[in-house]
Structure 1
Amino acid sequence: MPLRIGYVREHFSSPLLQYAEADGGKTLTLVECPSGTGQLINRLTNNEIDVAVALTDPLISGIAKGSEHYRLVGSYVTTPLNWAVITGKETKYNEIADLQGTAIGISRYGSGSQTMAYVMALQQSWPTDKLQFRVNNDIRGLIDSVNDGSTSAFMWEWFTTKPFVDAGEARFIGSVPTPWPSWLIAAHPTRAADVELRTFLTTLTTYVRTFDSPEKREQDDVDFIKAKFGYPEEDIRAWLKTVAWSQDCAAIPTQVITDTLGVLEQAGFINSPAGGFDASYFVNTDIARLV
């Protein structure tokens, strides 16, 4: 049975999309999760997918809060994610500081759009226990919410939301880069020590290395993203300058886990147990290596 790979159809997924196209459904099936990492985690929890390529902070915070429905099995993108702070086209909000005490739109609880709101509040020295959220499911719902006034702003990846801003549907009022590498890979416990999962990570590494190579970045990557996502070439080239992928998808740096936990705890999103967290608890070490 092919592995069910949950993913978000964004430019970051390009190497995974190339892998899936070449595979033709023989060993993996892509399951699109347009609402983002919160939806990916829900589908892992419900055993609707086997693997999730998802954002670092929600994956780690979910395990920290007690989830037994998945463990980390690999790394994907090693650079930070630049979260845009977006408001409506005619709102009174012009900078991040204006948002204090307002309702922030999120895709769902436990998503990156929520965890990063805590990071933003930490940076702004706001009391994180006073944050207010409204769930709006996906990018369309989030944009509608900032324009109908039910939320003040929301956070989403910069280049994903730029077409909506360019079309005049919303405005950027700031950005908050993640203080950690942005994408990891998690798997449902039933896939522990699974040969297919090992093969997936090994093959994905090959596609990632190729996509991440200087030769492919020069033009082939640009052409692929333009064809798949329709972004302007100048935006694609600007984004490619900011992103790098793991050169070994089965390796997870211990520091990624400990640093992410430290920031999320400082932001008030998670609480550390007595004696602190053990990084190996977050990882299926039958599959991945902590480095």
Structure 2
Amino acid sequence: MKKVNIGGVPEHFNLAWYLTLKNGEYKAENINLRWHDYHGGTGAMCKALRSGEIDMAVILTEGIIKDVIDGNPSKIVQTFVETPLNWGIHVAADSKFKSLEDIKGTRAAISRYGSGSHLMAYINAKNNDWDLEKDLKFEVISNLDGAIRGLTEGKADYFMWEKFTTKPIVDDGIFRRIGNCPSPWPCFVIAVREDFIENNNDELKTILNIINQTTADFKSIPSIDKTIANRYEQELEDVQEWLSLTEWSQTILDKKTIQNVQDQLFNLNIIPKKVDYDFLIHNVE
């Protein structure tokens, strides 16, 4: 049986992986797929792909594009979630900050450099015409728990994370959300180490076929909204809103989208150069 290590954030976007694993669908195809939670998000997964700790990752589009250009020996094989990620912009509940203008020039909590919380801070700054040199400051906090401590203890001033994941923290009166910043591209892709692609193409194709069959019908799974609400401790109405806004994908990331992501990252000085489509993408056949 072929062992395959895959990483992702422990959030509702990835429930389809849990369901297919629970059903034993990979083992039925002689694949021992092992899921690893990465609470540190995309930056932590980029590091794990580089080291060979994992073979595959369900990872933020902007983060993996930056890291592949920076030398990560991986390729994007598919879009996983087609719709943008809606990043909530949060401050501590008792913070003096009330608006986006108030946090200009203050410290953004980020899970790590190169993570989505880091890169999207640039997108938010650009959207609000901030000076990218003067108005962006960062404090590394590792993960969501670190952000709660960082904002509550005053080590950082604001934190960007997917708004439905943080909604319970807002409801509990720990965070206050002062704005939103949708990513300007599909949010999650599946990235795979190049050496794994070269040596395990059939297994990779099988894994993608299994997960794609599940995501294609995900919203029609009986009581899926209640399952998500219970598993991720969210309000049912919030889950229903999230499901109405979210579309999964079973196709490859197109050239126009890759160009758009690179154009924006390059213009923000996040990547040093733009590369060809084939440098970033592998079409599994």
Partner of 2:262: 261
Shift of 1:4: 0.5
Q: Distance in 2 between matches of 1:32 and 1:22?
A: 19
Partner of 1:239: 242
Q: How do residues 201-216 of structure 1 correspond to structure 2 at under 5 angstroms?
A: 201-212=208-219, 215-216=220-221
Tell me the secondary structure at the aligned position of residue 226 of structure 1: helix
Q: Distance in 1 between matches of 2:164 and 2:182?
A: 13
User: Are positions 1:45 and 2:46 aligned together?
Assistant: no
Q: Distance in 1 between matches of 2:271 and 2:72?
A: 16
More deviation in 251-260 or 177-186?
251-260
Q: Deviations over 1:237-288 (max 9, x none)?
A: 011111000033xx2222221111111122232232xxx4211110124x27
Q: Distance in 2 between matches of 1:88 and 1:207?
A: 38
| Superposition RMSD in Å | 1.5
Decide whether the 8 Å contact of 2:40 with 2:142 is kept in 1.
yes
Partner of 1:196: 203
Partner of 2:168: 163
Identical counterparts, % of pairs: 32
Decide whether the 8 Å contact of 2:78 with 2:250 is kept in 1.
no
Q: Distance in 1 between matches of 2:89 and 2:151?
A: 11
For 1:177, which of 177, 182, 200 is the aligned residue?
A: 182
Decide whether the 8 Å contact of 2:46 with 2:72 is kept in 1.
no
Decide whether the 8 Å contact of 1:129 with 1:268 is kept in 2.
no
Partner of 1:143: 148
For 1:118, which of 102, 116, 122 is the aligned residue?
A: 122
Shift of 1:25: 6.9
Partner of 1:77: 81
Q: Distance in 2 between matches of 1:109 and 1:88?
A: 22
The amino acid of 1:202's aligned partner reads: N
Q: Distance in 2 between matches of 1:81 and 1:115?
A: 13
Residue correspondences, number = 277
Decide whether the 8 Å contact of 1:121 with 1:267 is kept in 2.
no
TM-score (norm 2): 0.93
Q: Distance in 1 between matches of 2:192 and 2:81?
A: 17
Shift of 1:146: 1.1
Tell me the secondary structure at the aligned position of residue 23 of structure 1: coil
Partner of 1:278: 276
User: Are positions 1:230 and 2:228 aligned together?
Assistant: no
Which aligned runs of 4 or more in structure 1 are off by greater than 3 angstroms? none
Q: Distance in 2 between matches of 1:52 and 1:74?
A: 11
Q: Distance in 2 between matches of 1:244 and 1:80?
A: 9
In structure 1, runs of 5+ residues without a counterpart are none
In structure 2, runs of 5+ residues without a counterpart are none
Decide whether the 8 Å contact of 2:150 with 2:156 is kept in 1.
yes
Decide whether the 8 Å contact of 1:72 with 1:185 is kept in 2.
yes
Shift of 1:19: 1.2
| CA separation of 1:34 and 1:161: change in aligned 2, threshold 3 A | same
Tell me the secondary structure at the aligned position of residue 87 of structure 1: strand
